Chain A
Amino acid sequence: MNAEQVLFWVFSVGTIVSAGAVIFLRNPVASAMSLVACFFFLAGIYVLLWAHTIAVLQVLVYAGAIMVLFLFVIMLLSLTDTGPIAQLSPSRIAGAVATAALLAALVAVFRKLPAADTVTWASDAGRVATFGTIKQLGAIMYTQWLFPFEAVSLLLLVAIVGAVVVAKSRI
């Protein structure tokens, strides 16, 4: 096994274990902290996929901003969770069975993909040198994808106003 395979297994086992901890831990604060751990492991996976810019964004925005917001709300509500984390009802059992079936189907499909362990475009040295850099990402974002980028900025503005309107009891 080379270094990339070792890192892939370390990060993927870490991702799945911490994602499982999110849903199986009772305390919401513990769930949020294991979700932060999951995002860090995923950032490692993104680096293995040569997407270091997105990995940095993942840590900054997800593990930083969004999870701080989550922790803030959990602390604000000071929830006392009693009782089982999930009551056993027919709809929940059906949900768990459907999830297992979906996982089995997806894994069966993905295993049929050709397991090519080389990058087919590696001979293109210019593309290898610029792949995943913030310069290249910015070049694509501000030329081809300028309108969606501006639309997202408008969406964030609407979300800020909407969050204030919804959460504030009296304006």
Chain B
Amino acid sequence: MNFTVVPTSNYLILAAALFCVGMLGVLVRRNALVVFMCIELMLNAANLTFLAFARERGDMVGHLGPFFIIAVAAAEAAVGLAIVISVFRNRGTVNIEEIQSMKH
């Protein structure tokens, strides 16, 4: 049997583009919630890379990585959003420009 598929390198380029969109968002956006969403984008780019190599090698252990990343992303979102709520309660803003007491 022979399967013709889209080459793995196309999936990797898509993952690279997705990671860079997320990285751009983390670096330029001011809203802490949007920065969190961009971190989720970067995690998904990592998932896509794992799955692309899993199919390339025919090894299903590559599906465990995305599974654990999804679980860790859920934990990260819960704690991160709790921190955002806490900061908003104390400062009245989620603008990361104005939250800089840990600078210097």
Contacts and interface: CB of A to CB of B under 8 A. Distances in A.
A158 to B, nearest CB: 8
B1 A122 contact: yes
A118 B56 CA distance: 9
Given A16-B21, A22-B38, A107 B13 contact: yes
Given A19-B41, A85-B30, A66 B77 contact: yes
B14 A137 contact: no
A124 B58 contact: yes
Given A2-B4, A23-B29, A62 B13 contact: no
B74 A87 contact: no
Contact of A62 (B24, B40, B60, B94): B40
A54 B37 contact: no
Contact of B71 (A15, A76, A137, A156): A156
Q: What's the dominant secondary structure at chain B's contact region?
A: helix
Given A110-B9, A115-B9, A117-B5, A141 B84 contact: no
Interface residues of A, number: 92
Interface of A: 2, 4-5, 8, 12, 15-16, 19-20, 22-23, 28, 31-32, 35, 38-39, 42, 45-46, 48-51, 53-54, 57-58, 61-62, 65-66, 69-70, 73-74, 76-77, 79, 81, 85-87, 92, 95-96, 98-100, 102-103, 106-107, 110-111, 113-125, 127-128, 130-132, 136-137, 140-141, 144-145, 148, 152, 155-156, 158-160, 162-164, 166-167, 169
Given A46-B51, A49-B54, A128-B3, 19 more contacts: A16-B18, A19-B18, A22-B37, A54-B47, A62-B73, A70-B81, A95-B23, A103-B16, A115-B9, A116-B8, A122-B2, A132-B60, A132-B63, A152-B72, A159-B78, A162-B82, A163-B81, A166-B85, A169-B89
